[in-house]
Amino acid sequence: MIGVMKQSLQLKVGQSLTMTPQLQQAIRLLQLSSLEMQQEIQEVLESNPLLELADEDFGDDPLPADLDAETTTESGEVDFTTKAESTADVNSPEADSDWDNSAEATDDWQENIPEDLPVDSSWDDVYGQGSSGSGSGGEDYDFDSRNGTEETLKDHLLWQLNLTRVSPNDKLIAESIIDAVNPDGLLNQTLEDILESLDPELEIELDEVVAVLHLLQSFDPTGICARNLQECLMLQLKELDEDIPWRSEALTVVGEYMDLLGNRDFSGVCRRAKLEESDLAEVIRLIQTLNPRPGASLEPSNTEYVVPDVFVRKRNNRWTVELNAESMPKLRINGTYAGMIRRADSSADNQFLKDNLQEARWFLKSLQSRNETLLKVVTKIVEHQRAFLEYGPEAMKPLVLHDIADAIGMHESTISRVTTRKYMHTPRGVFELKYFFSSHVGTATGGEVSSTAIRALIRKLTDEEDPRKPLSDSRIAQILGKQEIQVARRTIAKYRESMGIPPSNERKRLV
């Protein structure tokens, strides 16, 4: 008997995540830094005529509306509320339906911040009165300072060479030597290699290359074109006045006993140079005034400025968290273009306005969600790390992304996006949000200590150690063990190296 297959319809209920364009935009904006966010806003303003900057002289209300929240209870706790005032034209149910449906599938971006948190958060002027540094016009705009090129070390040396009367061959040699100078001002090639790079038909001898080298070593800055650190220091010492105290002794130590000095063999230097320990200390103090990298001061530096996303301040014995109002320009829907939209009109121009209006609403909603999420995360971080704000890095507590994700009901990936390239301005300095997350190390009593706090303790111990007898890694581990912090010597060495602290034999000094 042959079975017969029957077709049937079945109804199943399930949940699935749909990454709508609006949700994708919100996630993408969430991981942008402040500077990138300003660039993104500028690009949107240029491409969407329905969005514009909200200037003071216009009467229309900016969108989205300002959010305000800060209420302190008698018990010292804080209640968080959200107040949103906007026109029905922008935040109508039809316009927000796509966003709301997609947002429910992931983190609740518009969820109210939990009540009774021991940290204040202010929503005053979330979107600011415009970016203080975004414009390029105005009387204070300096075109030369923004577009001019800085003089390099090579340019500086060539400029001095052009002012010096030398033969064509010597100028060719000098240019080859200058090309071999690294950014620190030292030669990264031997004179023999430089000689080989020259045209053999010129029949240049090594003595000529040495003579030109000595000429270049008389250029500014002092110590330039040296073949090694020893020669660099010797050139600078020779330029000092002869009546400078300890100059002759420094010339002897650097010229004859540089290896012993580099190995911190102070007793050997004293014995061979016939100096008392106190005299050697004065000699070392003079050597430390010299510049081991004479060319570094002339190399152009591209300074990268960090724009803090949030400010953390202490007011009335309470820590408050505020978004940086000046990092974002104030946006709104262009009322003139929005008023030109006709519902029943299906023309291309009207459809263009409709599409751009919808995109403008989505962008403003995504921007608002980004700031709400950032404030939630920073508020929880500050609540957890108040001891750091009060007492410094040694009081930092262990914290991982999962802790914040559980506290505000979001996924760890969302917390990772929020804390990447976002910066917090505190009374103790500007820190990336990632700085406040660290693994933990167990204590003898069963507690936990942040790895950041251990690094701070290592830094403190090395800063306060006796320079004549610096602490070894094993000794630092023993000291921390007495504080019930069990850390292996290898871990101490790893943390020390990550902070750029040299080992104990290299930290030894007389002064």
59 versus 462: which is more confidently predicted?
462
pLDDT band at residue 149 using 50, 70 and 90 as cut-offs? low
Query: Could you write out the DSSP letters of every residue in 334-356?
Result: -HHHHHT--TT--SHHHHHHHHH
Q: 3-state DSSP call for residue 313?
A: strand
Cα–Cα separations (whole angstroms), residue 117 to 76, 199, 214, 383, 423: 9, 76, 70, 8, 22
Cβ pair 255, 279 in contact under 8 A: no
2 versus 252: which is more confidently predicted?
252
- pLDDT at residue 80, as a whole number: 30
pLDDT greater than 70 at residue 184: yes
- pLDDT at residue 327, as a whole number: 79
Q: In whole angstroms, what is the distance from residue 254 CA to residue 93 CA? A: 79
Cβ pair 185, 296 in contact under 8 A: yes
Read off the pLDDT of each residue in 219-236 and give the average, rounded to a whole number. Answer: 92
Q: In whole angstroms, what is the distance from residue 333 CA to residue 327 CA? A: 20
pLDDT band at residue 424 using 50, 70 and 90 as cut-offs? very high
Tell me the whole-structure pTM to 2 decimals: 0.60
> From the CB of residue 315, how many other CB atoms can be counted at a distance below 10 Å?
9
Average pLDDT for the chain: 78
- pLDDT at residue 72, as a whole number: 31
Cβ pair 397, 388 in contact under 8 A: yes
Cα–Cα separations (whole angstroms), residue 151 to 148, 182, 298, 300: 10, 15, 7, 7
353 versus 129: which is more confidently predicted?
353
- Token pair for 384: 């957890």
Q: What is the pLDDT of residues 352-404, one digit of tens each?
A: 988 899 899 999 998 888 989 999 999 999 999 999 999 888 888 888 888 89
**Residue range(s) occupied by CATH 1.10.10.60 in the chain:** 438-507
Q: What is the pLDDT of residues 287-338, one digit of tens each?
A: 989 999 998 888 766 667 788 999 999 998 899 999 988 877 788 898 888 8
pLDDT greater than 90 at residue 178: yes
Q: What is the pLDDT of residues 466-484, one digit of tens each?
A: 887 888 888 888 888 888 8
Q: What is the pLDDT of residues 19-34, one digit of tens each?
A: 677 777 778 888 888 8
- pLDDT at residue 17, as a whole number: 57
Cβ pair 52, 60 in contact under 8 A: no
Q: Report how far Cα 37 is from the mean position of its chain's Cα atoms.
A: 16
- pLDDT at residue 84, as a whole number: 32
Q: What is the dihedral of CA 444, 449, 455, 461, to 10 degrees?
A: -50
pLDDT greater than 70 at residue 92: no
- pLDDT at residue 504, as a whole number: 85
- pLDDT at residue 1, as a whole number: 53
Kindly report which listed range (146-155, 212-221, 409-418) carries the lowest average pLDDT score.
146-155
| Residues comprising the chain, all counted | 511
What crossing angle do the helices spanning 93-104 and 21-30 adopt, rounded to 10°? Answer: 70
User: What is 438-507's CATH superfamily?
Assistant: Homeodomain-like (1.10.10.60)
Q: In whole angstroms, what is the distance from residue 294 CA to residue 220 CA? A: 9
Residue 118 DSSP one-character state? S
85 versus 130: which is more confidently predicted?
130
- pLDDT at residue 290, as a whole number: 93
Q: In whole angstroms, what is the distance from residue 238 CA to residue 34 CA? A: 50
pLDDT greater than 90 at residue 186: yes
214 versus 146: which is more confidently predicted?
214
Could you tell me where the DSSP H helices lie in 240-312? 247-256, 258-262, 266-273, 277-287
- pLDDT at residue 132, as a whole number: 37
pLDDT greater than 70 at residue 510: no
- pLDDT at residue 446, as a whole number: 55
Read off the pLDDT of each residue in 124-153 and give the average, rounded to a whole number. Answer: 48
Helices (H) and strands (E) in the chain, counts: 22, 11
Give percent of the chain above pLDDT 70.
76
Q: In whole angstroms, what is the distance from residue 71 CA to residue 77 CA? A: 9
Cβ pair 82, 112 in contact under 8 A: yes
Phi, psi of 440 (to 5 degrees): -115, 155
pLDDT greater than 50 at residue 69: no
Element (H or E) spanning 431, and its range? strand 429-432
pLDDT greater than 80 at residue 259: yes
